[in-house]
């Protein structure tokens, strides 16, 4: 069995697409995912499965959510080792002056459309920073993610792919949960 992390896009946000995590856990157990655990209400799941590849797992989870709750939700799935690599490649970790509470990562469903990279970078404030790495966007938002113009919706529109964003604490908590499974 491999350990995976699933990130759901757009559930329990602003009162939309409400799903209780215990209900989500039950649905995922019914589709034969093992050791299913959730973290906070925004659609973060750690589970085990023999099934591969990740895209099949994404479709399986997305279809199960649609069948049970009638929500069309993008689901991004990562192996534990992939999330570890993402965490370790954060470009701001080595800079002592950066506070990790201002780190965010936007996970992209597909490789981004590079045509609009300059327009995305131009949208950041003077204090903010942004870095692209394959299907991940690292954000440093010292005025808080709630104030940035580099929102999940903006990135989706400009990069022409589905995305879901998590703060650094959530990412590290999910990785710690996944590491306990191994």
Q: Please say if the pLDDT value at position 96 is more than 70.
A: no
Structure tokens at 7: 């990130």
pLDDT band with cut points at 50, 70 and 90 for residue 149: very high
pLDDT score of 139: 96
Whether the pTM exceeds 0.85: the reply is: yes
pLDDT band with cut points at 50, 70 and 90 for residue 95: confident
Q: For residue range 22-32, list pLDDT tens digits in order.
A: 999 999 999 99
Angle at 18 between CA 12 and CA 20, to 5 degrees: 95
Q: Please say if the pLDDT value at position 16 is more than 90.
A: no
Strands 34-39 and 44-49: antiparallel
Q: Please say if the pLDDT value at position 171 is more than 90.
A: yes
């Amino acid at each position: 069995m491999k350990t995976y992390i699933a990130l759901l896009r757009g559930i329990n946000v602003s009162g939309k697409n409400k799903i209780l995590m215990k209900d989500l856990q039950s649905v995922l157990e019914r589709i034969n995912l093992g050791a299913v655990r959730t973290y906070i209400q925004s659609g973060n799941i750690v589970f085990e499965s023999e099934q591969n590849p990740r895209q099949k797992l994404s479709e399986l989870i997305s279809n199960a959510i649609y069948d049970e709750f009638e929500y069309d939700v993008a689901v991004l799935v990562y192996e534990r080792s992939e999330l570890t690599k993402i965490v370790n490649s954060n470009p701001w970790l080595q800079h002592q002056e950066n506070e990790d509470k201002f780190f965010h990562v936007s996970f992209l469903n597909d490789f981004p459309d590079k045509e609009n990279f300059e327009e995305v970078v131009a949208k950041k404030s003077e204090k903010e920073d942004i870095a692209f790495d394959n299907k991940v966007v690292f954000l440093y938002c010292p005025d808080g993610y709630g104030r940035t113009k580099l929102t999940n919706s903006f990135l989706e529109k400009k990069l022409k792919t589905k995305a879901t964003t998590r703060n650094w604490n959530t990412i590290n908590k999910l990785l710690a949960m996944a590491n306990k499974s191994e």
